[in-house]
Amino acid sequence: MPGTRKSKKSGRKGRHRHAAGSASERCRDVNVVKDDILPQEVPEVPKDKEEDFGNTENLPYVIRVSDVMGRYLVASRDLRPGELIMTVDPLVVGPPQGCQPLCLGCYKKLDLEENAYRCEGCGWPQCCLGCPGKGTEYGHSEAECRLYQSVRPKLLGADTSALTPLYLAVVPLRCLLLQSDPDRWRTLLSMEAHNDIRRKLPVIWRNNQENVVDRIRKEWGMTQYEEDIIHTICGILEVNAFEVGQDDLSIRALYPSAFYMAHDCVPNTAHTDDQHFQLRVRATTKIHKGTSIYLSYAYTLQGTMKRRDHLKESKFFDCACARCSDATELGTYAGALKCPQCTTGVVISTRPLDRDASWRCNNDTCTGYTIPASSVRLLMDKIGDEVEALDESSIPALEAFLRRYQNVLHPNHYHCLGVQHSLCQLYGKTPGFLINDMTEEQLRHKRDICRQLLKVVDVLEPGYSRLRGMLLYELHAPLMILTTRGVEAHTISYRDLRSRLKEVAACLEESSIILSFEPKTSHEGMMGIAAKEALIRVREWQRIITDS
């Protein structure tokens, strides 16, 4: 599920024995019992040795069923921020939708002009002769290789453009292979496919028919798989797949238990996945017993219109969470425009849960500037395309974007937030803007951007979220350099120094805790290690000034 991006992760080896198959069966048995807590007779014991859940009855969640959300998870006791909720191994892993050629063993992107390696068994392109993912459960398994042997000549004869669409059928076929494992197959089929809704959506249904069903059955002659079941699997993947992958790999995977988590546009969990695709879900905020455990299927730094469109189109429901119901997005104005008429008001939806409702200036003294939702949608798409086309590593290009739209978009508008997020990472690390070379004004600018972003993120992705962890780390740098320069120039008092160091230490402490949940080798994980080391140095400085 997006949003959860799914750029994240943590690491621990080994297979996890989960009871998702059994849990799913129980759910189906009791699906008619609405809003009832389902018993967990065969509990799932998280493997994580750092956390001891005690006896198996002490699982941190139970599964409930509601008319609106279907099955969802609820905390069975109070959960602390950072507390591990579940550790699960995937049911199936594979290439994402719409990917370019990649290795079916390790998912590395392949340039077929330069890379001519093909699997000896079936002819799919692979990264090298000794791909570590060959013959593995979550890579190019032997069973998969055998299945493709009958189409080997077709695969060998295909160039990049002919091969690219074939990848769409890879994960569905991997799901079909689970039939040899009845427990896992049952778990897979217990997932929501929304066939009734999807069948009425001609574009989606036809795409699946052409790219997956007909490819598997007609082109590859695998008629042992019925049309209906292939369509159901396509739906299961659309509704339940997580985006995972380390080191810029883009992979989709289905997980038992984790798929039960309902969506909220302000999630109270975050998840990481490691190099073995194991998923770990943690609480980001305190979750009180009896409260729903949510993740966000959408990107949190997007406006309500965009998120709700995405959720409707790809997850097939109308989100009506507190954030979506509030035209101000909980006071953040993350989707708001500036009023071109009165220039001081903010233009927001008149009824945010109605996708066609007009948008109006909220300023009482304005004559009531109004704009149709369709025009807002067009404008957002146009600006979105512009953001996509920006050179993400160019500070001048990003700054120019913010200047260009300063009279159009609210400063907290998600398009601005995205650009500011890129900028706050570039300031301090880009030639010409290296942290020690930055002027005080530039340092204050980086500090202010971090603070502004944190104010919004504190509301939309609160607690121990990856984004907060990274922003806190980014914030500590200008704070620290400004403090050091103040000391050198004798412009800050002893009292000031103490309070500034306290603020830097607080940023680093929280950042190092949050980012310690990330895999150590990931960008975020390494940032967490750097935060921890910097914290030791700041604490030492605090000790010295206290002693002196």
> Is residue 93 within a helix (H) or strand (E), and if so which, with residue range?
strand 92-94
Give 259 or 464: the residue with its C-beta nearer to ligand SAM.
Answer: 259
Complex with ligand SAM: residue 38 or 395, whichever CB lies closer: 38
Least separation, in Å, of the C-beta of 144 and ligand SAM?
25
**Pairing, β 84-88 against β 279-283:** antiparallel
What are the Cα distances from residue 392, in Å, to 169, 396, 397, 535? 32, 10, 8, 30
Does position 315 interact with ligand SAM (CB under 6 A)? The reply is yes
* Dihedral sign computed on CA atoms, order 286, 68, 43, 273: negative
Q: Residues 6 or more apart from 43 whose CB is under 8 A from it? A: 19, 56, 57, 59
Give the number of other Cβ atoms within 10 Å of residue 156's Cβ: 13
Cβ closest to ligand SAM, residue 36 vs residue 210: 36
Q: Which whole-number Å values give the CA distances from 406 to 294, 319, 363, 371, 421, in the listed order?
A: 34, 30, 18, 19, 16
Please, is 48 exposed, middle or buried when counting C-beta atoms within 10 Å of its C-beta (0-12, 13-18, 19+)?
A: middle
Helix (H, G, I), strand (E, B) or coil at 525: helix
* Degrees to nearest 5, angle at CA 199 with 198 and 201: 65
171 belongs to the binding site for ligand SAM (CB under 6 A):
no
User: Least distance to ligand SAM from the beta carbon of 34, Å?
Assistant: 12
Piece of 228-236, 258-266, 439-447, 456-464 that binds ligand SAM (CB under 6 A): 258-266
Instruction: State whether residue 102 is helix, strand or coil.
Output: strand
**CA atoms 71, 77, 79, 84: torsion sign:** negative
Q: Which stretch binds ligand SAM (CB under 6 A): 115-123, 187-195, 331-339, 477-485?
A: 187-195
How far apart CA 244 and CA 10 sit, in angstroms, is 11
Structure tokens at 147: 């299945």
Answer yes or no whether residue 319 interacts with ligand SAM by CB under 6 A.
yes
Handedness of CA 352, 357, 363, 364 (dihedral sign): negative
Among 242, 259, 277, 517, binds ligand SAM (CB under 6 A): 259
Spell out, one character per residue from 202 to 241, where the chain touches ligand SAM: x when CB under 6 A holds, - when not. -------------------------------------xx-
Q: How far is the CB of 2 from ligand SAM (least distance, A)?
A: 12
Q: How far is the CB of 242 from ligand SAM (least distance, A)?
A: 9
Give 92's strand partners.
254
260 binds ligand SAM (CB under 6 A): yes
Q: Which of 215, 263, 338, 466 binds ligand SAM (CB under 6 A)?
A: 263
Shortest Å distance, C-beta 357 to ligand SAM: 20
Number of residues that bind ligand SAM (CB under 6 A): 19
- Nearer Cβ to ligand SAM, position 61 or 259? 259
69 near ligand SAM, rule: CB under 6 A: yes
Nearest approach in angstroms of CB 192 to ligand SAM is 4
**Residue 192 in contact with ligand SAM, rule: CB under 6 A:** yes
**Which is nearer to ligand SAM, 89 or 518 (by Cβ)?**
89
Tell me how far, at minimum, the Cβ of 256 lies from ligand SAM, in Å: 11
495, burial (CB in 10 Å: exposed 0-12, middle 13-18, buried 19+): exposed
Side by side, the strands of the sheet bearing 92-94 are 92-94, 251-254, 242-244
Most distant pair of Cα atoms in the chain: their distance: 81
What is the crossing angle of helices 494-515 and 523-547, to 10°?
150
| Interface region with ligand SAM, contact rule CB under 6 A, candidates 44-52, 186-194, 360-368, 448-456 | 186-194
Name the residue nearer to ligand SAM (CB basis): 292 or 420. 292
70 binds ligand SAM (CB under 6 A): yes
**Span from 66-74, 202-210, 220-228, 341-349 in contact with ligand SAM (CB under 6 A):** 66-74
d(CA 311, CA 308): 5
**279: alpha, beta or left, given left = phi > 0 and alpha = psi -120 to 50?**
beta
Taking the complex as a whole, how short is the minimal distance between the CB of residue 515 and ligand SAM, in angstroms? 27
Task: Decide: 37 and 64 in contact? Cβ < 8 Å.
Answer: yes
Nearer to ligand SAM, 283 or 337 (CB): 283
Among 36-44, 188-196, 267-275, 470-478, which window interacts with ligand SAM (CB under 6 A)? Answer: 188-196
**Which of the stretches 44-52, 64-72, 133-141, 276-284 binds ligand SAM when contact is defined by CB under 6 A?**
64-72
* One of 84, 262, 467, 535 touching ligand SAM (CB under 6 A): 262
Would you say 267 or 525 has its CB closer to ligand SAM? 267
**Choices 74-82, 315-323, 415-423, 503-511; region in contact with ligand SAM by CB under 6 A:** 315-323
Whose CB is nearest to ligand SAM?
A: 70
When asked if residue 255 is in the footprint of ligand SAM (CB under 6 A), the reply is no
Answer for which of 17, 67, 68, 548 binds ligand SAM (CB under 6 A) is 68
Q: Are 168 and 211 in contact (CB under 8 A)?
A: yes
Q: Closest CB to ligand SAM among 89 and 144?
A: 89
Provide the strand spans (E) within 308-402. 337-338, 346-349, 359-361, 370-371
174 touches ligand SAM by CB under 6 A: no
d(CA 300, CA 107): 27
Nearer to ligand SAM, 315 or 415 (CB): 315
Q: Which is nearer to ligand SAM, 302 or 412 (CB)?
A: 302
Question: Would you say 231 or 263 has its CB closer to ligand SAM?
Answer: 263
Could you list the residues that contact ligand SAM (CB under 6 A)?
Answer: 68-72, 191-192, 194, 239-240, 259-260, 262-264, 315-317, 319
